[in-house]
Amino acid sequence: MNRSLLPEFALLLDRFAWDVALLQEAPPRWFRAFARRTRSDGALVRTSRNLLPALQWRLADLNPDLLASSEGGSNQILVRRPGRIAETRRMRLAERPERRRMIWSRVELPGGRVCVANLHASAGLPAAASAELLRAAEQAVEWAGPDPLVLGGDLNLRPRRDPGPFELLRERFGLGEPTGPNAIDHVLVRGLATEERPHRLEPAERELAEPDGRRIRLSDHAPVAARFRLP
């Protein structure tokens, strides 16, 4: 397309039914537009490739396809009103080969309180991703205390290929179950009743029609959806 797809992403995000949304490696400058369009409270942490934001954003406007993810990324938490974020903390997980950060928020929803953690673990490095995930989980659990916890994101780990980290998450922290044996995007919970287990949405659910009849498939990852009940 070689143009900004912010309007399309914001439209699709608004169409989904959710109380809390976790976004990984989204352009930081899209954050306010997302929050405004979805009537949400939000928080973010900058992650990889945020070097000279003003210059990167200018280049992205001129040629989005050329710059691609080099525009810079962020992990974001959005909470639809009347829900709100009561507290936010951030954790450094790695600096190399790319900067990895977890963002954690304590969220007040009409039905109660829940803590939410969001991260994007290192890609192509299972040992590094496992270490980052376990450190993030340990800290998220500590910060959450007795409150329920949702830990999600692009973990870059497939349970079928790398079952160890998921077994440790379940045994040490009571977090489970992963989205699926071959998934890398997961939503793991502790202290919540599952009404609809985490699952990947069908490709058509992240597509939008263009005026000329073509369809745009947004994101190279299928969104993961789940439904939980607060205690």
pLDDT tens across the length of the chain (231 residues) = 767 889 999 999 999 999 999 999 999 999 999 999 999 999 999 998 766 566 656 666 766 775 565 667 999 999 999 999 999 999 999 999 999 999 999 999 999 999 999 999 999 999 999 999 999 999 999 999 999 999 999 999 999 999 999 999 999 999 988 999 999 999 999 999 999 999 999 999 999 988 888 898 998 899 999 999 998
**SS3 readout for the chain:** CCCCCHHHHHHHHHHCCCCEEEECCCCHHHHHHHHHHHCEEEEEEECCCCCCHHHHHHHHHHCHHHHHHHHCCEEEEEEECCCEEEEEEEEEEECCCCCEEEEEEEEEECCEEEEEEEEECCCCCHHHHHHHHHHHHHHHHHHHCCCCEEEEEECCCCCCCCHHHHHHHHHHHCCECCCCCCCCEEEEEECCEEEEEEEECCHHHHEEECCCCCEEECCCCCCEEEEEECC
Q: What are the chain's domains?
A: 6-229 (3.60.10.10)
